[in-house]
Amino acid sequence: MFTQLRPALSLLAIMTLITGVAYPLTVTGIGQLAFPAQANGSLVQDATGQVRGSRLLAQAFEGAQWFQPRPSAAAYATVASGASNLAPSNPLLAERIAAQVRVLGREGQGPVPMALVTTSGSGLDPHLSPAAARYQLSRVAQSRGIARERLESLIEAHTQRPLVGPAVVNVLALNQALAENPSLVPTE
């Protein structure tokens, strides 16, 4: 019996070292060397160097002076990330969307873009369509006491156009540009 147990335990120890230690350390090392920003969470820092968030995760912004991201079914908590799992036929989904439309809807602006009233699959999508960002222009411009055209150019400057897929705007980057530009500070 020991003749069969010894090779099995040896193989278990070797495979544990290879797949549990050597491989993860190699991949981590390559990631740190080749893609250090991405390997460390794609963190966004302000002008003072303080971390404000990640380009990969949405976060809540309080107040009318900020662009708002997509709603989150998990209150933007990364541990509980995920969709609401409410079926289209579920009345709770219709009620939640109707409540969101009442909050965001503006007279004369047309329908609220779907991205502003529906959650993403992860609940942490940091991007909006340019149309969803532009829908918020009036509210943000009025709150900050600045012209819409200045915000439109800021949205255009922060619009990313990937090779594949639609154009998107990272809400954290857009709001950080608002915070760091003294001429766009809200008038109070």
Q: Is 27 left (phi over 0), alpha (psi -120 to 50) or beta?
A: alpha
**19 and 86 share one domain:** no
Segment 125-178, tens digit of pLDDT? 889 999 999 999 988 999 888 888 989 999 999 999 999 999 999 999 999 888
pLDDT value, residue 115: 86
Q: What is the mean pLDDT of residues 89-110?
A: 85
Q: Say which DSSP state 56 is in.
A: T
Same-domain check for residues 66 and 146? yes
Task: Tell me, yes or no, whether 140 and 94 share the same domain.
Answer: yes
Q: Residue type at 22?
A: A
Encoded amino acid at 137, one letter: L
Co-location of 113 and 176 in the same domain: yes
Residue 23 shares a structural domain with residue 99: no
The pair of three-digit structure tokens given for residue 72, joined into one six-digit string: 């989150």
Same domain? 89 vs 9: no
What's the pLDDT at 120? 80
Same domain, 36 and 51: no
Amino acid (1-letter code) at residue 159: T
pLDDT at site 81: 72
| C-alpha to C-alpha distance for 99 and 117, rounded to whole angstroms | 9
Instruction: Report the predicted TM-score, pTM, of the whole model to 2 decimal places.
Output: 0.75
Do 11 and 72 fall within a single domain? no
Residue span of the structural domain in which 147 resides: 41-184
Decide: 11 and 19 in contact? Cβ < 8 Å.
no
Query: What residues have CB less than 8 Å from 81, skipping those under 6 apart?
Result: 74, 122, 123, 124
The residue whose two tokens read 């976060």 is 59
Q: Name the pLDDT band for 186 (thresholds 50, 70, 90).
A: low
- The pLDDT confidence band at residue 43, using thresholds 50, 70 and 90, is confident
188 pLDDT exceeds 60? no
The domain total for the chain is 2
13 and 78 together in one domain: no
Return phi, psi of residue 93, to 5°: -65, -45
Q: How many CB atoms lie within 10 A of CB 34?
A: 9
Task: Determine how β-strand 159-160 pairs with β-strand 168-170.
Answer: antiparallel
Terminal-residue alpha carbon distance, the chain: 82
The string of pLDDT tens digits covering residues 48-98 is: 888 888 888 888 888 889 999 988 877 787 776 777 778 888 888 889 888
Residue 121 CB neighbour total at 10 angstroms: 10
- Same domain flag for 135 and 48: yes
Does residue 8 sit in the same domain as residue 76?
no
Are 5 and 48 members of one domain? no
Strand segments (E) across the chain:
43-45, 51-54, 127-128, 159-160, 168-170
